[in-house]
Structures are given as C-alpha cells and as structure tokens.
Amino acid sequence: MSFQRILHLAGAILTVALLGTAAHAASSAGNGRTETPLVDGWRFAFGDEYTEKSDSSSWQTVSLPHSWNRIGGHATKTADADDRKGKGWYRLKFNADSWAAKPRRSWLQFDGASIVSDVWLNGVLLGRHYGAVSGFRFDVSDAIRPGENQLVVRTDNTSPETKGSVTAETLPMGGDWFMYGGLYRKVSLVTAAPVHIDLADEGGPGVYARTVSIDAGRARVEVAAKVRNDASVAQVIRIRTSLIDATGKIVASDTQPISMALSSTREIKAVLDVAKPHLWNGVADPYLYKVKVDLLSGAQLVDVVAQNFGIRTMRFDASRGFFLNGKPLMLRGVNRHQETGANGWASTDDQLKRDYAIIKEIGANSVRLAHYQHAQAEYDLADRMGLVVWAEVPLVLSSAPYGQPTATPGFIANSEQHVRELIRQNFNHPSIAVWSVANEPNILNVFTQIKAPTVPLLDRLAKLARTEDPSRPPVLATCCGTIPGDLMPTTPGTGLDSPPEAVDVFGVNVYFGWYYANVSDLSAYLDRVHAFYPGKAISVTEYGAGGALSQHTDNPLGGPVVAGGRPHPEAFQSYIHEHTWPQLRAKPYLWGSWLWNMFDFGSAIRMEGDLVDTNDKGIVSFDRQVKKESFYFYKAHWNPEPMIYLAGHRYTDRASPVADVKAYSNAAKASLSVNGLDVGSAACVERICLWRNVVLAKGDNEMTVQATLNGTQLVDRAVWRRVHGPGVYRVLAGQLGVTETSAGLYGSDNLFSGGESHLLNIPARRNPPPPKVVAGAADQKMYLAYRAGSFSYELPLPNGEYALTLRFVEPVEGQVAGKRVFDVLAQGSVALEAVDIAAAVGSLSALERSVPLRVTDGRAKIEFVPKAGEAILSSFSVDPR
C-alpha cells in the first residue's frame, strides 16, 4: 500500500473525530500519523455544466469506490450500461478536529482517480493529477480548517482522441479495455507531525527496502527512508529501522541520529544484517517480514511507517529462464485487468480476494497485472499468496500522443511520471519481479500511416526504471516489429522499429491460431525470436482465444474462426489453449508465460462471441460465475489437487448423433459411461482424456467420466440431449459454430477429410461491404460458409436406407458455366454427376439436391470430386427413409 496503518506502541490510543459518515481515523501513538478513510457521504454528478461551486444538494449520494460507468458482460445493451466519457464531479463535507491543525501536516490521499483529476478544498484549487491508475497526494495543510471542510473533485475520462481533451498527453492513448471514470479507489485524509517520513514522494511510502545479498545463511537488507522536516526550526531526531518476523520478533535493527534543517528532506539508509533469513519463496512459501521505520524525538515517537517485505533474489537467464532464490522456476501465469465484473474498476477488497482465490485454484504461480498500475490490495494479495508479478505502466498502443508523429514533451513527462509512481508506490512488494515500461507501444503504427518512433522513448523509460530500482529489470511486451522488419509475427514489412532493443528482458504477445496463422506455428516463431535475441531473456506475455459460453462446435477445425466477430465457440478456445501450452512448456529459455485472460472484461470496441462491449478471451466469465472449459485444462496441468472435468457442460442440446467426448484430469486414465453403459477407458494424454465418435441416443444422454488419483475417486457428469436418433445428421459445411436454423439445430462442419473452409462474407471490423445474400435460400444460415476443394465425409450411421440432401451455392459473383464442375459420390458410386451450380442457377443462388443413401456396414462415405475448379458444399442433411 502507499503506506501502512500506524503500529500501536506502548498501548497508547489516540481518539479522533468522525470524518464524513462513519469514517474513523486510524490511531497512532503520541502525536504521530493518522489515516482516515473518506468513503461515505459523497455527492456525485456527471456533466460539463457543473463547476466546483455548483449546488450539489440534488446530486446522487454515493460511496467509494465509485465509477459512473457500467460496461461489458451482456449480450445486448442493457438499461444500466453506461459508457459515457467526460467529467464526473464529486463533493464531500467532512469535519476535522484540532489534530489536523498546524503545526501538524495534512494530506489528501487518492488511491486512484480516473483519468485527470482536479481537487479543491474549501474553494482552494490544490492541483491536478494526470493519470488514472496511480495514487497521489495533495498537501492540504494550508487549506484544511477545524470543523467543516468541503472537498470537491473533478475526474475526467475523456478519450485522448477527442479534440482538446485534457487527457491528450496522458497515458494511455487507447487500448482494448475500457477506461472507467471516477473515484474508483479510496480517498483518505492523512495527518503527520511536522517531522515525518516523506509523504510527497510520488505517492510512495517514503520507505524503500531491498535485498542486497543472500549468502551463507545470512541476508543483507538495505532500507532507505526519506525524512522531511516541516517544523519551524531545525530538528535533531533518531531514526530506528527494524526488520520484524512473522511472530513479531525484531530480527535486525539500526538506529541513527540525524539532523534536519528547516524545510529539508534527507534520505537515510540503513543496512540490516539478518541471520538465518526465512526467504519469500513464491507459492511454496510466501514468507513475509515487516520493515518498520520509527522517527523519535527523545523518547517520543514522532512518526512510523511499516511495510510488508520479503527477502528473496530473482534473476533472468537468456537460455535457462527465471530463477527465484537461485533455483529455476518457470512462471506459469495469467493476465488480469483490475475490472471485477459489473462494478468495473470500482472493486471492493472482497471482490479482489474472490478473484485471487480463483487464480489460486487454477494453480498459477504468477500474474501479469495488465496494462497499468493496479490497486495496492492486489500487490498485497500477490505477496501473501506467493504470486510472482509483472507490474506495468499504461504506455499502450502508441509511443506518442494520438495522431502525433513523435512524442511531445508533455507525453514524455507523463510517461516518466507513471514509471516513477509505479516503482515508488510498489517498491517493497517482494512479489514484483519486473517493471514493464510498455505494452504493444507501436501497434498503432501497423494500422495507420503515422509511424511514430518507439525505441527512443522506451530506452529513456528503461533507463529511468533502472535508476529508480537497480534490483529489478525494466521489461516490455511487444507484438509488432519484435524482429526488425516484421509488422506482426507472420507479416514481414518495413517502417517499424523494434521495442526489444530498449531492454534486456521482454515478452511477446502471440495469438497463433486466433488472429493469424495456425496454432502449431507458435513454436517455430518463438525459436526465431530467441535466435535473433540470444542474449535477452524472453517470455510470452499474451496468448489465447475468445470463448463464448452459449456458442459451440462439433469440431474446432470445422471452419474459420472470426476473431473479431461471431461465433467464438467455447471449445475452440479450449483447442487453442490445449495446443499452445505444451509448446510453451517445451521452451527452456522462456522465463514465463501468461495466458490472456483470466477473466472476461469490458471493451467498448468489441462485439464478439455472444456478448457486446466485452473481450471474451477470459477463461472465467465476466461475472465470475462460470469457469470455462479451458480453466479446467490448466487446473489439470498446474494444480496437483486431484480433479476431473467433463468438457461440454454447456453444449447440452446436441446437433450431431456422434460426439468426441473429452475430459480434463490429472489422473493417468479415465473411464466413460453413457446412460450407465460402459464406453471404455482412455489415457489422459497432456491431461486430456478423449473418446472418439461416441454415439448419442435420442433423448437424454447422461455422460459420466470417472478416474482415481492418490486414492481419491473423481467423477463428473453432464446430460446431453438429442432431438433425433443416431440416423439423422444436420451439418453446415465450412462453419465453425452450431446454429439454430428454421429447419432445427445444425451442427458445425465435422467428420470431413480434405478441402478448405471459407466464409461467404469475409468479416471486416470497419466499413464492411454489403453482405452477400443467397437467392432462393430457405434459410440464409445454411449458406454462410462452404467447404471447397477435393473432400469427403465419413458418417457413422446405422444400417438402412437414407435420404441425403445437399445444398450448394456458387460464391463467385458472375461465375460462368463450366468453371466449377464436380461429381458427388455416395458409397463409391456417382450420385450427382457434373454438378455445375453456375449453369444450373447462376451465382449466389441456392441449389438443393437429394439423393438416396444406403448403409450396410455402419458407415456412409460421401465424396466431392472436382472435374473443373473446386468442388463445393454449403450444408447437408441425412434422414432415414
């Protein structure tokens, strides 16, 4: 936290007045420090028409944390959705007693206010803070008065793209998340004696500890304390620095006399020698000490600051990865935005604890807190849980103000401010391994004509980070220009500089199989990056895919995924993770990886999957109520607790008469039964237990998977329903998603061999062309995609007579007869000869043909054989005759 509540010494208790509504000051000994939350009784209004002098009697009454914005987690815009950006006004009347009067010093502390904040106390403008994610303080010693005080805060979350915006040079310039507005973290009144540990140090605690060395059963800890004298005369005091173990015992201490000139600030360093140190050792043993600094005038305690601290070493090796306390540890982690569902950024401590309990359940040992500074409570949770943290500033999208070719002096200053605030406010957290100075800082260069240089600013920020904290490396995450000449991982180009040039440790954001290429291409790309930067330690900072809870597929390879649209079948997300994690685990040079993302989160630029205003790449739902399939895949790999999970819980109404049944388990093998009938056992390879082409009966099918691990019996069940019997197929060729049509539920493409899938209408995020419409189609949904080439289907079917109905469309506008001609074979015999769709009905017109199908060996093979051009199919159905 920015600073800890005062420790009680000698049992003294200071009684203080109420501040605001039911707010009490933290007590301290003697005339020391107090901290009083100002959370209740605020008045709020949104709009440009208000000023700091406006009558607030009719404003809304709110408590902190508060944001006026509500976005994400819904399928359609809801009544309480609120994506307004602009000025939010807050007013609070509170009482201050004589303990806040001079010569004592008083500060207003803001743990987080978005984005640009102006603060008035009793009509006096205290100042402005540029930045949504870091804490800040204003000295109010000259403005506060005994009795009633009036505090007014204006927060402004206007987009930097808006002409004349106050945020034009304030990080970030944009990003794939929503910038909530408001006083979304706590506000406090802090008072201290005239001589105190500095409260004006970029919002930091004024006490900064680091492990200098661990050697031969001893550790050396350096503690720097910044002391300020605001008394009217020079002062001679003593500074006592102590390290206290978890039992409350002082294990090392140092006391020094210091002279403080009038209106001066001094940095005092103490080196503590710790015998037999108990190391902070990640999730295995996250042991915490407390660093405590006391200021004493004679026998009187003047000020105290105490901070949690862990003794540990961390280092990075370009070939061997990450080392904690001298031992290798591959970091397996998750990304997280500070949003906690419907409350957005206005998170409570209980909501944060809930989220971190889910992170613990999956078995992660690291968390990347993207893409900005998070609440102190999160870093505290990571300290206590042993999660290694990637901490980051919000330099995202561009390394210059929006629309500018280069960074302006104001933009540079704000970037440096964010680096200083991040480091000083979080210096003492043992969980933090790295300070990230940017995420995808040049991605805007890929999509616009402006090619703002990136490396000069990144180099400057990296040098600043090293100066602020030599014990941790500056890092960054890059997606574009990682290797010079590459626009994206699969797109060579020119005009981009290479962000990794600025640092020795970095991460790559990679979305193979989602935004580009095939998921199997990831391994070769990582090797290429490692070979290009053999002396730099690299990690994978993002990977993943969207996953919609209500969208399903019978085969994740059945059709092209529309990353920027719909559908996003949950099983496709699982497929990407199942094929990404083994590639990452196999790279000894990777010091860590973080899947994107732990939770769905709000994003005003998205309309994807089955939601709007939401990025659905989370492996847990926006409201935290549903853990998606891929959550259990990682839990099976990362958490040693015995488990089994049957995939497909939400795909209850089944389109296909056969299904690949899949379970995730850390047991060696598992068994499957359907309606009590044993289907057999399957080995759980890569924690995946798989049964191919399991036949489903008409009606309910109770699917039960079981396993045993370490004497624990594991079981999971689901009920899958079929409207039809095993002799009925409904298939959309070339389509990834299961779809409800006018003729009932149709499955995604499945049971095929060969050919390629295509969409009739190529998706475009911006200015899409008018969609192609298929004339004469009974239902357009049956013609939205197609399989083309030379291909076949092999369908498990009970013996008998069937009708096979095939649907075609010629997708090429103006196609002439004879350009595409093909035969359709059923069970090896020609069923349709020389099909020429253009000759029969022309382009973009539906063609439907039915042929008989006889099955005598439990299988039906249907082949599409080109004669000219490629064969093509939009959808088909099979029904008993």
Annotated catalytic sites, by residue? 440
DSSP conformational letter for 844: T
d(CA 820, CA 835) in angstroms, rounded, equals 8
| Tokens (6 digits) for 510 | 């990679």
CB atoms within 10 A of CB 640: 11
Q: Residue 657's Cα: distance from chain center in Å?
A: 37
What distance lies between CA 822 and its chain's CA centroid?
48
Tokens at 771, concatenated: 């969609």
Distance, CA of 462 to CA of 454 (rounded, Å): 12
Instruction: Please tell me the distance from the alpha carbon of residue 373 to that of residue 351, in angstroms, as a whole number.
Output: 18
CA dihedral 510→514→515→518, nearest 10 degrees, is 80
Distance from C-alpha of 684 to C-alpha of 663, rounded to nearest angstrom: 8
To 10 degrees, the CA torsion angle through 677, 682, 686, 690?
-50
Is the separation of the CB atoms in 202 and 216 below 8 Å? Answer: no
Cβ pair 544, 577 in contact under 8 A: yes
- Paired strand residues for 682: 670
- Whole-angstrom CA distances from 275 to 41, 247, 314 are 50, 16, 20
Cβ atoms of 430 and 310 closer than 8 Å: yes
Residue 598: which residues within 8 A CB-CB, separation 6 or more? 334, 335, 336, 355, 358, 359, 367, 618, 619, 620
Count the alpha carbons within 13 Å of 330 in the hemisphere toward its beta carbon: 15
Q: Return d(Cα 694, Cα 696) in angstroms, integer.
A: 6
Which backbone phi and psi does 440 adopt, to 5 degrees?
Answer: 45, 55
DSSP code string of 283-342:
GGEE--EEEEEEEEETTEEEEEEEEEE----EEEETTTEEEETTEE--EEEEEE-S--GG
